[in-house]
Structure 1
């Protein structure tokens, strides 16, 4: 009679004397749970470490610099170590009337840039949605070329347009009737006074920013069923009521995201202002972005600690805007 050999696997050893079989099963269950949960975290660990090094370390270094007296003499290996000065930079900054004036200008200019960009981009996006497909595509590609133009190139072009004596804008304004725009525009310098300089700056930023908003809105409009607008027209709703009751609610997450991005981008405007002003003899035309550069690199001597303190203030402003956006998204249940 043939006998069958019983094969035992090493993975499941027979419980010996004094060993609880339930404990062995519990150990295997715990091991399987760990193996199931470990791979996802192990896969994203390198990315998390990379982001921590790229993002968190510069922020920590910025905060550290803002709490020390850190100038150019501390950069030399043979120089002294930066002195801990507690919150002296922040106290000096918050007690300086010039800082509050610069902060006010930054907020006002940012609100104007973001508001005009959002309104113009939304209107252009709606217009593109109503155009024929081929024509809408051509116009969208043309607009995106403006959005893709480097900030330095766009700023130089607009500076040439508004140059006193040779700028095209000055000559066009001078050729118009005096009763309409006045006279003396040929030699008018747009880059000395805050109102005129900020007007040109807002023009540059809006020109480069609204194509992104328009194309984003166009993509969002294509996702809204046309039956909703047909039902609204049958109920007698006009264009404004359809936008308010259909378009805006359907695209609210998109509008919220674009709004936050525009605020963050426009708060950090530096290149355009630097190129347009060419030289900053008038402190009234400073924005926070340039104030950081002026204190940290262009002062005599450069004060990296004060520049870092201003950068911390700007970072806190951006984080507040981002936190407010996330709060709205969580309330609306749109993060799930």
Structure 2
């Protein structure tokens, strides 16, 4: 698919985002150059036939040819990709079948542009609530746009952040949303009332602040009991009821881009050549080496095949089928 010049460019590729298909049969990765690679999981887990063979995508989508694939999320019927000024939906039936029509977008939502801008804001994070079919888009204008996927129209706009929104996290019930930003804050939102209920400023806590790395918060995740966040500020775990830090993690990173609460463990990564698995109390469970010095995306699924995928500032994805070691590596192109 790619020309020789593009292949040379992809040597310096960055994998910005990932997700799994709705049926769990495919892993998808979005690149710095606007392409989405589709890996069939049954194929990538087979033994290689020779030492020269590489595990590469089954096919690609040229999703945003003039931009990045900054964010991705899966709904029951669509792969949803976010980029500068737009969100696009791709029919899973075509994407997973590998048909020629797969490169045709099913629908596009344009992000509203500011008065002094010719294009809409970049969509850095997407979250989807299947209960009400709402899509949440965290953008670099500091706003969270809420779209109804029935008609693609803006339902509401959540405002409060003063800089880029790096990530969104949504509770399964769709009643609460957490957002984190370059402005150094984490905001909690009551989606029923459509209002901001709490603001955390981790960098104001002495043992969390890291002046050399800045105030920004690059990742957030939460449950009914716990909130996890990190960025320039250290990775920290907070009590949801008291909004006080319970654990401050001591990691050899220079910034956090990934923070996940997974079962009874914490998963973290960022400016470091490892993905860390930790207990809630900060004990190191495993340190998984990565193909990149910086990780931007970690996704996982339990069924039909348990799989972790790690992507970042390289042309490779690292795959784990448990939480303790890297099992194999995929090549984007």
Which structure shows the bigger proportion of residues in strand conformation? 2
Give the TM-score range, shorter chain.
under 0.3
- Greater RCO, CA 8 A, separation 6+: 1
- Structure of larger gyration radius: 1
Name the TM-score, length of structure 1 as normaliser. 0.21
Which structure shows the bigger proportion of residues in helix conformation? 1
Name the TM-score, length of structure 2 as normaliser. 0.21
